[in-house]
Amino acid sequence: MRTRKMITACCLTGVIASLTPFYALAGSPEFAYTAEKWASLRDNKLEYDEIGDLIHEYNSTVLQNQIAYKEYREEDQDDIAQSYYDAAEDIYSNIEYPDSDDSGYAGRLSAALSSELQADKLMEQGDNNVSDSEVIKLGYDQTEMELVKSAQTLMINYWTQLYNLEKIKSSKELSELQYQSVATKLTAGISTQAELLSAKEAVTSAEASIRSAESALSQSKQSLCIMTGWSYGAEVEIGEVPEPDLSRIGSIDLETDIKTALENNYSIKIVKKKIANAKKTSTKENLEETLKSNERTASASVKNAYQNILLTKSDYDQALQAYELEKKNMDTADRQLQAGTITPNAYQQQKASFSNAETSVKTTSLSLTQAIQDYDWAVNGLASVS
């Protein structure tokens, strides 16, 4: 069974403790899912379509927010404002103003004035408070969705890095063959020591690139696993990312989606609720200007996300065309190798070209999946407002 992290509620925001490998608690009760669903979430394979549930059940930030929200669930705007007033009164009641002839007068006076300023700010926050339990819940929901989006992006990046690592390894193999070829020519007197050194440096550079890519890949995997609830160093299989849904692109209705995006947007919902809560005219006017700005920026964000889909789709189509050409060239090279009409080096060069074209299809496919994902998230509440 998979290794999870222990959750310990120690204060208002909660504390995520222990990375000790053991079967940890989820955020939801056992009846929240079927036994089959729990088994899938608790195995040691991370699937793309499980990310949302894993973030909800095991992500430390989400679990902290769930604990914290219990304290705010029944509180309205006045209750939250009162918490600022109470905190301010606690500070006021503990301020001690020194006499001018007391030792350390300057330092003690500075501390007292600093406390007074802190309390005054808390009182001002209470007067200007526009938050309530709904605002806090929307903020926590937004955070959770942003974490899901980030984890999906990280999984896509993981596979992109993996495919690029394969490309670098293929390049290293070709560099080694070229080095061997130069070494053979040097022995025959038709190459130079400088050319051999240059070929050797190419091999060394490829080896360094492999080490760097492997390190980055490992870091991406660890970050992704920790986000979704595993302990550091856990043995986890990363499932593949789904192919891009090409039919989704053709069905997009941009104008309708922009309207939906504005209705769903978490930041806009929060500002609207704060406007409804605002008691001061100046506060309400400032929030209304913020709302207008957010709506303009969110609309532009959706349009940009759509344009990115079209650009990425074009890159994907070009990669497919290049792949088909290289596949034909590879088939020709295979026949030439069997007939003995192509040199080993030329064959390996063609093999490397084909491998690079194949990798390009895989990585642009991932980029297209990412672009569609980003667009869908923009429509479903996460369009940027800044």
In a domain, 156, yes or no: no
- Out of 66, 96, 128, a domain closes at 128
DSSP 228-242: TTPPTT---EEPPPP
pLDDT for residue 241? 97
In a domain, 189, yes or no: no
Looking up residue 384, the CATH number of its domain turns out to be 1.20.1600.10
Structural domain boundaries, residue 260: 247-386
- Out of 99, 128, 157, a domain closes at 128
In a domain, 31, yes or no: no
In a domain, 28, yes or no: no
pLDDT for residue 203? 94
Number of domains in the chain: 2
Report d(CA 373, CA 152) in Å as an integer. Answer: 9
Instruction: Provide φ and ψ at 7, rounded to 5°.
Output: -110, 125
In a domain, 299, yes or no: yes
By CB neighbour count within 10 A (0-12 exposed, 13-18 middle, 19+ buried), where does 371 fall? buried
3 state SS of 208: helix
Whether residue 244 has pLDDT greater than 70: yes
- Out of 101, 128, 155, a domain closes at 128
3 state SS of 302: helix
pLDDT digits (tens, 9 = 90+) for 219-243: 999 999 999 999 888 899 999 999 9
pLDDT digits (tens, 9 = 90+) for 260-310: 999 999 999 999 999 998 988 999 999 999 999 999 999 999 999 999 999
pLDDT digits (tens, 9 = 90+) for 103-142: 888 888 898 889 988 888 887 777 677 878 899 999 999 9
- Higher pLDDT: 277 or 256? It is 256
Strand locations in 308-355, DSSP E?
A: none
The mean-pLDDT minimum among 13-17, 345-349, 363-367 falls in 13-17
DSSP 273-339: HHHHH--SHHHHHHHHHHHHHHHHHHHHHHHHHHHHHHHHHHHHHHHHHHHHHHHHHHHHHHHHHHH
Tokens of 288: 């209304």
pLDDT for residue 24? 55
In a domain, 71, yes or no: no
Give the pLDDT band (50/70/90) at residue 92: confident
The mean-pLDDT minimum among 4-13, 144-153, 208-217 falls in 4-13
pLDDT mean across residues, the chain: 89
Report d(CA 272, CA 275) in Å as an integer. Answer: 5
In a domain, 266, yes or no: yes
In a domain, 191, yes or no: no
Per the DSSP assignment, residues forming a β-bridge with 7 are 16
Report d(CA 386, CA 378) in Å as an integer. Answer: 13
Tokens of 214: 């492997």
Single pTM value for the model: 0.82
Give the pLDDT band (50/70/90) at residue 17: very low
Taking Cα atoms as reference points, which of 265, 244, 250, 291 lies closest to residue 380? 265
